[in-house]
Amino acid sequence: MNGELLSILEAIERDKGVDREILIQAIESAVATAAKKSEGVAEELEATAVLDRKTGRIKVLVDGREIDSGHLTRIAAQTAKQVIIQRIREAERDVIFTEYQSRVGDIVTGSVHRFERGDIIVELGRAEAVLPKPERIPHEEYHQGDQIQGYVLEVRKSAKGPSIVLSRTHEGFIRGVFALEVPEINEGIVEIRGIAREAGDRTKIAVVSKDDKVDCVGACVGMRGTRVKNIVRELHGEKIDIIRWHPSIKEFIAASLSPAKIAEIQEDTGTKQALVIVDDDQLSLAIGKKGQNVRLASKLTGWQLEIKNRAQLAPAERSLAGLPGIGPAMEERLREAGITTLPQLVATTLEQLKELKGVGERTAEKLLEAAQQALAAKADAPADAAPAETKAAVEEAETPAAPAEEAPGPVDAAPDGEGSASA
C-alpha cells in the first residue's frame, strides 16, 4: 500500500503537472489533522505526520507518541481524503494559472467545447478558456469540436480556478499569426512596426527588414502569396495590406494609403497633420469604402490625414511648386519668408522678393507675373468645375467593386459619399 501511494503521487505529478513535494505536504498535513481528531486530544497539543519519500510509509506522532495511521477513525480518514483532494485541486489550479500567466500575449490553439450565453468555451487540454463574443471576429461561426486559435488576452484567478480570456480581434492576434506563418518575423529578421485593424474587414501592417538581403514584404507574402493566403484564411477572409515601413513620414504615409497613388503630401510635423493630394481618379481609392482606407492609414502612421484631389484645392491651398521659375530650392526660400500660397506671393512687393537670397529684380518680376497669371486663371475657371470632378470621382467610387482575391493589398475601396476625407 505504501509503494502504491508513491506510484499514485508520481502519476498525479506526471498527469497534472503538480510538484510531488506539494502533494506530500498536503498528505502530511491532512493525516496529522485527522490523527489528532481520531485520538481526541486537546486542540493545543501538537500532531505531526511524516511520509517517507522512499518507502511511502507514514509516521504519525500525537502528543509525542507514535500511532498507527491505519487506525484512524472512518470520519477522520474521510476528512483527510477530502483535504488531500482539495489541496491537489488548488495546486493544479496554481500550476495552470502560472503556466498561462506566462503565456499572456501568445497564440494558443484549442477546440470548441461548448457555448455559454454567446461566448465560446475553448478546451486547451488541461484548462478551459473563454472567447467572449466582443473578442470574436464579426460574422465568423464555429461548431463544437472545431479547431480555433486565440490570443491570450488575460488570465485571472477566480473561485472556480484560472479564468483564461482569449481574443481574435486584438492587434496582438495579427502579430501572433504572422509570427507563426512567417519564420523571418519569428526569428527577428523582419520586424512589425505597426498594425491598424478593423477586425473582420481589413488590416494594415507595416513591416521592415533588418537584413538588406531579405525583402520584408516578400517574406510576409510568401511564394505565390501562400503565407498571406493562409493568414487570410485563418481570419475568415479579412483583407490584409502589407506595407513597407519607411523612416521618411512622407513615404510612409504614401505607402500606408496604398493601393492609391499619391501626388503630393504637405505635412505639419508640429501638429502631426498632413494634407494628402491625389489625382482625381485616385480619390475614391485613397479614401476607401466609408473612409476605411484613410482611417486605417491614419491609425497606422499616427498622423491625422486629410485627402483631397486637385480640383478641391482652393487657390490658397495650392502649392507654389509647379509655377514657372519655382523649383524645390526657390520654394524653400519662399517658405522661410512665410510665403506658401499664391495669394501670399501676389501680395508680396518686388522689393520684398529682391531681399530673398538668390532673387534678383528680373527673377522677382517673373515670379510675380507667374503668380498673378495662375491666380487669375483660377478666378476665371467655371464655378462648377470642381464639384463636377468631385461628383465624378464619387460616382466612380460608388460603383460596386469586383471581389478581391486573397492577396496582400486589396483593391476593394470606395468612398463614403464625400469628395474628401480626413482621419
Task: Locate the domains of the chain by residue range.
Answer: 2-101, 107-169, 177-245, 246-313+403-410, 315-380
What pLDDT is stored for residue 384 in this prediction? 43
The structure's pTM equals 0.64
218: left (phi over 0), alpha (psi -120 to 50) or beta: alpha
For the cut 80, the answer to whether the pLDDT of residue 415 exceeds it is no
Architecture of domain 315-380: Orthogonal Bundle (1.10)
| Cβ atoms of residues 101 and 155 within 8 Å | yes
Within 132-215, strands assigned E span 147-158, 161-167, 190-198, 202-209
154: left (phi over 0), alpha (psi -120 to 50) or beta: beta
Please write the tens of the pLDDT for every residue from 1-13.
456 767 777 777 7
Task: Report angle CA 413, 414, 418 to the nearest 5 degrees.
Answer: 145
Q: How is residue 89 written as a grid cell?
A: 485541486
Q: Which fold would CATH assign to domain 246-313+403-410?
A: GMP Synthetase; Chain A, domain 3 (3.30.300)
What pLDDT is stored for residue 319 in this prediction? 60
Q: Which fold would CATH assign to domain 177-245?
A: GMP Synthetase; Chain A, domain 3 (3.30.300)
User: Residue written as cell 475568415?
Assistant: 236
Span 90-108, mean pLDDT?
Answer: 89
Cα R_g (the chain), whole angstroms: 35
For the cut 70, the answer to whether the pLDDT of residue 331 exceeds it is yes
Architecture of domain 107-169: Beta Barrel (2.40)
For 2-101, the fitting CATH number among 3.40.50.1110, 3.30.1480.10, 3.40.30.10, 3.40.640.10 is 3.30.1480.10
| 177-245 against 246-313+403-410: fold identical | yes
Kindly indicate the confidence band of residue 256, based on its pLDDT and cuts at 50, 70 and 90: very high
By three-state DSSP, how is residue 130 classified?
Answer: strand
Kindly indicate the confidence band of residue 421, based on its pLDDT and cuts at 50, 70 and 90: low
Please write the tens of the pLDDT for every residue from 18-72.
777 877 887 878 777 777 776 665 565 677 778 777 777 777 777 777 776 666 6
